[in-house]
Structure 1
Amino acid sequence: MQNHKILLVGDNPFHGVSHLSQNRARSRDNQISNPDYCAELVKIAIENGADGFMFSVSEITLDIIRALTEKKISIKLYAIAPAASDYVRLASKLGTPGMAIYLAKQIVASGNLKAIFNGFNGVVFQNPAALMKAYLYYEIFRIRKASQSKQAPYCFLLHEIITEMALALNLEWLFKSFVEFMLDMKIKPGFETRNSPLLIDKLLKLGIDASKVVIVAPYNKIGFQMNPSKEECEKALTDIPQTEVIAMSILASGYIKPPEAIEYINGVSQLKGVVIGVSREKHAEDFKIFREALDGGVQ
Structure 2
Amino acid sequence: MSNGNGKVLLVGDNPFHSISHLSQERARVRGDTSTYPESAADLIMTSMENGANGFMFSVSETTLSILREVHKRGAVERLSLYAIVPYAYEYVRLATQVGGIPGLAKRFAKQILVSGNMRAVAMGLKGVTRADPVSLLKTYLTYEISRIKSSAGKQANLSSVLLHQMITDMALALDLDWLFKEYVDFTRKLGVTPGFNTGNFSYLVNKFTEWDVNLREIAIAAPFNKVGFQMIPSKKECEKVLEGVPEPVLIAISILAAGYLKPSEAIQYIGTLPNIKGVAVGVSKERHARETFKLLKEKLNNVYSRNG
Please give the TM-score of this superposition, normalised by the length of structure 2.
Answer: 0.94
Q: After TM superposition, list the pairs within 5 Å mapping 1:47-196 onto structure 2.
A: 47-73=49-75, 74=77, 75-93=79-97, 94-149=99-154, 152-196=157-201
Q: Is the 8 A contact 1:118 1:131 kept in 2?
A: yes
CA distance in structure 2 between the partners assigned to 1:138 and 1:256 by the alignment = 38
Q: After TM superposition, list the pairs within 5 Å mapping 1:146-295 onto structure 2.
A: 146-149=151-154, 152-286=157-291, 287-295=293-301
Please give the TM-score of this superposition, normalised by the length of structure 1.
Answer: 0.97
Q: RMSD over aligned Cα, in angstroms?
A: 1.3
CA distance in structure 1 between the partners assigned to 2:223 and 2:19 by the alignment = 16
Q: 3-state SS of the aligned residue for 1:153?
A: strand
CA distance in structure 1 between the partners assigned to 2:160 and 2:28 by the alignment = 30
Q: 3-state SS of the aligned residue for 1:252?
A: coil
Cα 1:259/1:151, change in 2 over 3 Å: closer
CA distance in structure 2 between the partners assigned to 1:213 and 1:12 by the alignment = 23
> What is the count of residue pairs matched by the alignment?
299
The Cα of 1:150 is off from its aligned counterpart by 5.6
CA distance in structure 2 between the partners assigned to 1:247 and 1:147 by the alignment = 24
CA distance in structure 1 between the partners assigned to 2:157 and 2:150 by the alignment = 9
Q: Is the 8 A contact 1:143 1:152 kept in 2?
A: no
**Structure 1 ranges of 4+ moved more than 4 A:** none
CA distance in structure 2 between the partners assigned to 1:223 and 1:30 by the alignment = 29
Partner of 1:15: 17
CA distance in structure 2 between the partners assigned to 1:152 and 1:129 by the alignment = 26
Cα 1:2/1:67, change in 2 over 3 Å: closer
- Long gaps (5+) in structure 1: none
Bigger shift: residues 278-287 or 238-247? 238-247
CA distance in structure 2 between the partners assigned to 1:4 and 1:116 by the alignment = 37
The Cα of 1:2 is off from its aligned counterpart by 6.4
- Long gaps (5+) in structure 2: none
Q: Is the 8 A contact 1:220 1:252 kept in 2?
A: yes
Task: Deviation per CA, 1:21-70: give whole Å up to 9, x if none.
Answer: 11111122231121011011101101110120000001110111111111
The Cα of 1:4 is off from its aligned counterpart by 4.0
The Cα of 1:162 is off from its aligned counterpart by 0.7
- Selected match of 1:35 from 23, 34, 37: 37
Task: Deviation per CA, 1:261-280: give whole Å up to 9, x if none.
Answer: 01110011222211000111
Equivalent pairs: percent with the same residue? 48
Cα 1:281/1:139, change in 2 over 3 Å: same
Q: Is the 8 A contact 2:248 2:274 kept in 1?
A: no
